[in-house]
Amino acid sequence: MTAHMSAHMSAQEIFLLDVDSVLVRPLGYRAALRATVDHFRARMGLRSDPPNDAEIDEFEAHGFGSEWHSVPVCVAGTLAQAAEARPDLWRGTLDETLAAVAEAAPDLPRPDYAALVHAIGADAVWSDMLAPRRALAYFAARTPPHARPVLDALLARTYDVASPATRVFQHHTLGSARFPATYGIAPEFETESLLMAMDEPLLAPEARALLRAARLPYAVYTARPSLPPAGEDATGFAPEAEMACALVGLADAPVIGYGHVAWLAQQHGAHPDAYVKPSPVQALAAVAAALVNAASPVALHAALAVADAGALPEPFAALQSGAETVRISVFEDTPAGRRRSRRPGRRCAGPASR
């Protein structure tokens, strides 16, 4: 997609690069989803049987674009299946319930994950933020009242790293070495980062060399979790966008990810999803970051000033000083990706909200 801005300066090109399916082929998230579902299945004494690609596609098509939301649905669905004939298997905590299922050793058929998400009924018109609430209501209506604490543990706070499924998933995405640096808590088990191990670079070395040689302003523009602006408290902000940049040799690129807009939202008492793409705030912040070659607070505040008040602070004011046009080329995977973030719910657990 190419957009044009009228300006009064020498002709200038600015590149905004998405991450998923542009810089990398995002295989790591699905691998982490499967590993996390299998983690809980193993604790129930069940064999490995996570969702396949077609079933994951169904989750995404029905409003569960975040693995933080689809994983606990898979776990809750399996627990409900195990306890259908044995309501006594529901215990006071998730850990106790997992252990009770393992002790009972039920002979369960493979879960029909696609049928489950269809039955829940969440769809694309529901925001990803509301999808786990819809799932919680679905399971609560079909399980005994004493199951509610377990369902709440799984589905009530999926944006929080304290949520069991989210915490395990983040171990697999970040790896146990990065996990404590991100969240300030010790890892619960050892694992590699499946993002670094499974994501495939799509930016060829030749393309990277051309990008650098052209010396054109560019920034990485993604809904992936990211660090906040440099110098800000990064606790709880998962560096998943920065990890992808490092994988393709762009570790020094200015990045405007979900962590940056989440930080900006915190400053203004807003929800981060109000600023992430397709909101113009994130795109404008990426343009500003490209112009100053840094994902700085100045770039973020300037973007909000343009979007909210029509003001034109620096670095945007400089675009009026010449006589030509500025062409902004945005490289994204699909037209749908230009209208909405691919995974609007997987956000910075902790102080913000993958």
Chain segment 2-12, per-residue pLDDT in tens: 343 333 345 67
Peptide bond into 164 cis (omega under 30): no
Mean pLDDT of 281-296: 95
User: Which one is predicted more confidently, 43 or 271?
Assistant: 43
- CA–CA separation, 2 and 11 (whole Å): 14
Q: What is the pLDDT of residue 336?
A: 44
Q: What is the pLDDT of residue 65?
A: 86
pLDDT score of 123 more than 70: no
Q: What is the pLDDT of residue 128?
A: 57
Query: Could you give phi then psi for residue 83, rounded to 5 degrees?
Result: -95, 5
48 touches 38 (CB < 8 A): yes
Q: Which residues contact 148 (CB under 8 A, 6 or more apart)?
A: 140
Mean pLDDT of 339-349: 39
Torsion sign across C-alpha atoms 202, 279, 315, 230: negative
Across the chain, mean pLDDT equals 88
Classify strands 325-331 and 12-17 as parallel, antiparallel or unpaired.
Answer: parallel
Q: What is the pLDDT of residue 322?
A: 60
Q: What is the pLDDT of residue 326?
A: 83
* 3-state SS, one letter per residue, for 110-176: CCCHHHHHHHHCCCCCCCCCCHHHHHHHHHHCCCCHHHHHHHHHHHCCCCCCCCHHHHHHHHHHHCC
226 touches 24 (CB < 8 A): no
pLDDT score of 340 more than 90: no
Q: What is the pLDDT of residue 232?
A: 94
pLDDT score of 49 more than 80: yes
Residue % of the chain over a pLDDT of 90 = 75
Q: What is the pLDDT of residue 11?
A: 67
- Which of these, 239, 194, 190, 201, lies nearest to 31 by C-alpha position? 194
Mean pLDDT of 242-246: 98
DSSP 199: -
pLDDT score of 16 more than 50: yes
- Of 33-42, 208-217, 314-323, where does mean pLDDT reach its minimum? 314-323
End-to-end CA distance of the chain: 25
350 confidence band (pLDDT: 50, 70, 90): very low
User: Which one is predicted more confidently, 343 or 146?
Assistant: 146
pLDDT score of 268 more than 50: yes
- Which of these, 85, 83, 73, 74, lies nearest to 49 by C-alpha position? 74
Mean pLDDT of 105-120: 94
Q: What is the pLDDT of residue 31?
A: 98
pLDDT score of 342 more than 50: no
Q: What is the pLDDT of residue 122?
A: 61
Q: What is the pLDDT of residue 129?
A: 57
Q: What is the pLDDT of residue 273?
A: 83
- Of 37-46, 138-147, 210-219, 315-324, where does mean pLDDT reach its minimum? 315-324
pLDDT score of 145 more than 90: yes
350 touches 38 (CB < 8 A): no
Query: What is the DSSP secondary-structure string of 34-95?
Result: HHHHHHHHHHTTPPP----HHHHHHHHHTT---HHHHHHHHHHHHHHHHHSS-GGG--SSHH
